Homo-oligomer: A and B are copies of this chain.
């Protein structure tokens, strides 16, 4: 109880929003999902498919989270997550369910590499390294596989080697594990993009968790083999469409209150009471919600320590896919940045050429501090180092700095500094009362990928469905609220 501004006594225990002046009945559902990114939508859809009543509260006015496609001057620009692997069964099934198709990423010709200042041709199976570099890369890979074999992707903090691996950054590990500067350079070029962070920021245990969750290097090399025709955003849009008005945009959850077998979420506009909640937003954002009662100390301290990576994605449109004429696929990887990864994103049958170029981690943050024109100049110069001077003449340049998005604040996901995962790891997945956690950081397959987001949502939905089943009164199926 407290005295509100008007002097009335307000009771926190009722289904009324705090604040006295703002009394409001909560509407009822079975499960409240916070966040309409792929994780939240996946959780909601899994519950919906089981006939469980669900509501999805989304802060932004759109669904999709880190997926965002916009048609700009006739070109579909994917500002966020775009690529998938044929080894991602959830993505494949969901695309099929909604009648969406994929385009194979253009791969005719060579990939380009800029390593230690030199431009080289190669590709995934044929890295541009001399024989010592190749031998070293083979050894690094064997070491990674050996370490990965010791890690349970469901609970990496339980591995015997966890404390030791979690005391190292990937930078420190790589310095010791590799003997050839060429191989180190190659590893940096490919790893920094995936992690969206400097290798010196990230615990080796965190890196290995991603690695083992994706199924090792062979699978990871397929992560960008396909993309979704017509824009990735169609997927969350179709998922949301299926859920109908259960998806509530412009509803940032400010407070979650729970007790007595129920949980209530308050936004600035709505209040919903259910039996369980699934919070499917990045860990750092889970701490921006007020919980009553408060979260356990470990959970709060964990999420104080998971900084989001950083990425600016640039989509560059040229009058033709000129790189193809020169026998280059459009795929390019660089050590020094600011652009470290480039992929061809030209739609089949399109006359124009489209390149997607990513700046990640420290490079993204540095570019983000520049003015727009200065940034564009740097990006074009960086691209020119891969595909030549023609890169300086785009028809159009689109960009999105995900760290500047107030509801995303980074990408592709939250990363663990040394010491965090081994001490606080269990709190990442462990429900707190009726509150369950989802999001790509909690995935145990294809962590930080769209596939991982879907799996995390399905896993949380499964937890919730089991809990609801267990709570059901004995002696037959209870009456349920159905939409």
Contacts and interface: CB of A to CB of B under 8 A. Distances in A.
A189 B296 CA distance: 28
A143 interface: no
Contacts of A288: 287-288, 290
Contact of A304 (B18, B301, B306): B306
A21 interface: yes
Contacts of A4: 269
Given A250-B2, A269-B4, A403 B301 contact: yes
A482 to B, nearest CB: 24
Interface stretch (A79-87, A145-153, A362-370): A362-370
Contacts of A269: 4-5, 19-20
Interface string A280-296: 00001001101000101
A304 B300 contact: no
Contacts of A298: 365, 368-369
Nearest to A366: B423
A401 B365 CA distance: 36
Contact of A198 (B21, B294, B419): B419
A365 B403 contact: no
A404 interface: yes
B308 A423 contact: no
A351 interface: no
A404 B4 CA distance: 26
A168 to B, nearest CB: 10
Interface string A178-202: 0000000000000000000010110
A203 to B, nearest CB: 10
Contact of A418 (B200, B254, B294, B404): B200
Contacts of A368: 297-298
Nearest to A283: B304
A417 to B, nearest CB: 4
A310 interface: yes
A297 B21 contact: no
Contacts of A284: 287, 304
B268 A18 contact: yes
A200 B419 contact: yes
A110 to B, nearest CB: 34
A188 to B, nearest CB: 15
Contacts of A252: 290
A270 interface: yes
A305 B417 contact: yes
Contacts of A250: 2
Contacts of A254: 254
A349 interface: no
A409 B301 contact: yes
Interface centre among A306, A369, A423 (most CB of B within 10 A): A423
Contact of A417 (B18, B362, B417): B417
Given A167-B200, A298-B369, A403-B300, A21 B24 contact: yes
Interface string A116-134: 0000000000000000000
A287 B403 CA distance: 14
A243 B297 CA distance: 33
A334 interface: no
Contact of A401 (B20, B290, B297, B305): B297
Given A298-B369, A304-B307, 13 more contacts: A2-B250, A20-B269, A169-B418, A200-B419, A252-B290, A297-B310, A297-B403, A298-B368, A300-B403, A301-B409, A304-B306, A304-B409, A362-B423
| 10 smallest beta-carbon distances between A and B, as pairs | A297-B403, A294-B406, A305-B307, A417-B417, A304-B307, A5-B269, A284-B304, A22-B22, A19-B268, A201-B419
28 contacts: A4-B269, A22-B22, A167-B200, A169-B418, A200-B419, A201-B418, A252-B290, A284-B287, A284-B304, A288-B290, A294-B404, A294-B406, A297-B368, A297-B401, A298-B365, A298-B368, A300-B403, A300-B409, A301-B307, A301-B403, A301-B409, A301-B410, A304-B307, A304-B308, A305-B305, A305-B417, A417-B417, A418-B418
